[in-house]
Amino acid sequence: MGTITTKDGVEIFYKDWGPKDAQPIVFHHGWPLSSDDWDAQLLYFLGKAYRVVAHDRRGHGRSSQVSEGHDMDHYAADASAVCEHLNLKNAVHVGHSTGGGEVARYVARYGQPQGRVAKAVLVSAVPPLMVKTKDNPGGTPIEVFDGWRAALAGNRAQFYLDVASGPFYGFNRPNAKVSQPVIQNWWRQGMTGGAKAHYDGIKAFSETDQTEDLKAITVPTLVLQGDDDQVVPIDDSGRLSVKLLKNGTLKVYPGYPHGMLTIHADVINPDLLAFIRA
C-alpha cells in the first residue's frame, strides 16, 4: 500500500499486492466507495498469481478530500498517474459502475496511447451516458439525480444506508438474501469519503457522455451486467456500450443486481479469469 501525489497536489491512496513481475490487474471502484469494494476480487486474483492494484478515487476512501476535480477527466488522469508511477504494462483494467467510466476514459486517453493496456472490463458500468437527453431518450431523468443530490446533502448517512439496503444489491427484491455485513461495509466505505466529492461525483457519473471513449477503445473489452440492475439500467448502458466498442463482448446475468461483484463473486470472478486468460 502507498500513496502518490498528482500534478494538482492530490494524494491518491493505492494498494499494490502480489508479484511485481506478474501481469497486473487494475481495479477501479464505484461511487461512493473505495478500493476496499474489490476485496473479493483482489484476494481471488492474488491467489491466481496476478499482481493486483486498486486505488481510492480522489475524495473517496483514504485519498485526499479535495474540493475540486471530481469529474471523469481528473478520475482518468489520477488513475494514469498511479499506473505511470508503478510502470504498469500489459495491464487489464476492471471498472465497476463509475469506475467503468473511469476505465473507459483512462484506456481511451492514456492507457491505450501509452501501450499499457492489454484488456478492459466494464462491470455494471455507467457509459455511454446515464442521464436522459434528446439524444439519449432511454436514459434516467435528471430529476432522479437531483433527488440523489438532495438526499446526500440532507442526510448522507441515511441516504447511503438506503442505497445499500435497497437497490444496490437488490436487497429490496422479494425473497432477496439480505446481508447486513455487506450493507454495513458499503455504508462504511461511503462515509469514509468526502461529501463534496460524492456530491459532485453524481454529475460526473450521470452526465458524462463517453460515446467517443468507447469508440476509441480497440483492446478486447468485456462488458458484464445483471439484467436487474436498478442503479444503472442495462438497456441504457451495457447493451449500448457493446455496440460502440470495436472489440467488445457483452455477458448478461439474469436477475443479478448492480452490486453483483460482491454478492455473486463466486460466479463473476471465474468469468473475469477466463476472459483475462483467453
> Hey, which residues are catalytic here?
97, 229, 258
35/30 Cα distance (integer angstroms): 9
Q: Angle at which helices 265-277 and 39-46 pack, to 10 degrees?
A: 50
